A and B are shown apart, each in its own frame.
Chain A
């Protein structure tokens, strides 16, 4: 059974899809340098305008439903990918009151977000995946697998993460947070920017006029180190190879790689090496996190949407923020490239060497 991405919407620091794509193509980063979360220093952050993560999710999901071929979600599986779930609200209450007394436990855990959507839209079934920065990429992977075996016809993948003090301070403690806007794949990159977003992707087993095919998914585990990837890029390579194998495509069929590209020293060095070993300089590669920041659990879904737009627009985006490319053996474009984009690999890599690659492409 084939899987098709038939509809999607998002909200992030750059706004909706249209605004985000405009920002990406015009190299206009939506990141800000903010003092809110850290006492003595600034942090480059991707902050969006919204009331709360629950109402934002409802709003974005409603848009997808309106534009879909479905009347409701009663025959749809919901898979949420999130790294912190309902922790943002829990943190805010605890920060104010120093007590758990007024925290609603049903809005605290990972599946608090899925439960709220199930109550609102009456999904047939739901589950939540939390694998840090690969969460919604793994949700897409699972969506394809479940459609493969005919378990479900419609799967709604939601990637959602709201900015939390814990994540900002945690990445700061890890010394991987940049105080300025991040510069993926640049020699002088100084780290990543934590960000927030909601991205919603409807995956179905039927093709429509507007479909992009979810052709292959691949995953691997380094189990090398808790926070560092395998230095030989073995995990990243296996993940991309598995996606190619699943799609029954070869590396020559890929025109663009939307990289994980967080701009941390370790990730970009290893991911570039993985791309170099597998593709050489035959394929355009860059990271749109220079615009959005790292939206953590939402990143896989956000970047899958960006990849769909790249295919539909016949336009490979430029790398924002790049001055001096570190690895010169891969093809990073500083300006947009107009061309037919047949297939795209979107990489998501997470702590613990949890690697996922999504391969999407034009429909035949």
Chain B
């Protein structure tokens, strides 16, 4: 399976930038009623929009290894520890497609949008889903891969099977993908399983493969990336179009 990458954006959360402020002041977006998970997705989308044209009928895939665990912690604490009623917008933000709605709205998209979550081959599985749909629709697609580390991060690390002293980060990585090579900066090939006896090192977030792809695009280098889960591996090849 092969697609062409037209543009990309990457952002890893740090303390230097107030994303909410940036969204309001620089991009003039309404940030009310949204939480930090949604803000991170919106920010990555705006960075992508600066680099390419996003069409109304582009498809949108938002994928995450763990999803918005922060809002689950928050709502549970409200309801069961503090005996507070569930707040309306916390309930809405709890739902998977809320983030994809805000992203679609901020980018002016009306095409299909899907929130896919998986802790095994998260990014590659989403590439396969997008590819299958694009072959039918002939539209371009935007993939947003993101993971947001909530505080305390103990649950996230337990979900990811990491030691408590591991370093985890919040990161958002976008690519605009197309079946058409015109104007592409790279081609990306991916496929289904091959057997494997390899082991990989701990990832700092579940959508790390998307980040690695974007690093190769940034450096204009070719890439062979292998992900392993139990006895299976999946491979992504990125070939820069110079």
Which residues of A approach B to under 8 Å, CB–CB? 83, 87, 90-91, 94-95, 98, 100, 103, 105-106, 108-111, 114-115, 124-132, 134-135, 138, 142, 145-146, 148-149, 151, 165-167, 169-171, 173-174, 219-223, 226-227, 235, 238, 246, 350-354
Contacts and interface: CB of A to CB of B under 8 A. Distances in A.
A146 to B, nearest CB: 5
B132 A109 contact: no
A148 B159 contact: no
Given A169-B85, A223-B101, A151 B79 contact: no
Given A148-B136, A173-B88, A220-B110, A98 B80 contact: yes
Contact of B67 (A110, A124, A134, A169): A110
B91 A169 contact: yes
Interface residues of B, number: 57
A80 to B, nearest CB: 9
Main secondary structure of the interface of B (DSSP, over half): helix
A223 B104 contact: yes
Interface in B74-96: 75-76, 79-81, 85-88, 91-92, 94-96
Interface of B: 1, 33, 60, 66-67, 69, 72-73, 75-76, 79-81, 85-88, 91-92, 94-98, 100-102, 104-105, 108-121, 125, 128-129, 131-133, 135-136, 154-155, 158-159, 192-193
A235 B111 CA distance: 10
Given A114-B118, A170-B86, A351-B97, A221 B109 contact: yes
A132 B99 CA distance: 11
A170 B96 contact: no
25 contacts: A94-B81, A98-B81, A100-B154, A100-B155, A106-B158, A109-B67, A110-B96, A125-B125, A125-B192, A127-B118, A128-B118, A129-B96, A130-B67, A131-B97, A131-B114, A146-B128, A149-B131, A166-B86, A170-B86, A173-B88, A220-B110, A221-B111, A227-B92, A351-B98, A352-B98
- Most-contacted residue by chain B among A132, A148, A235 (CB, 10 A): A132
Given A90-B72, A114-B118, A220-B112, A166 B98 contact: no
